[in-house]
Amino acid sequence: MELSAEELQALADHDIDPDEVRRIALVDRDLDEVSDHDRPTARDDLEALLIAEDDPPAI
């Protein structure tokens, strides 16, 4: 997965590691029993990363 300089900068602006994005993109999921409409997308994964980065750690 190649990211442009603009994409890398956008990730850096949100303190997201590009390697983490690549890892998520390559995760093989077992989606045999999930309908096409309920399948998570790469966008869902990236949004989850942003949310996780914004949430303070639990104490």
Its pTM surpasses 0.75: no
Residue 3 burial (CB count, 10 A): 14
Cα separation, 53 vs 31, in Å, equals: 26
DSSP one-letter code for 34: S
At 3-59, the pLDDT tens digits run: 788 887 887 888 888 888 777 777 766 666 666 666 667 777 778 777 876 665 555
Place of tokens 């997965």: 1
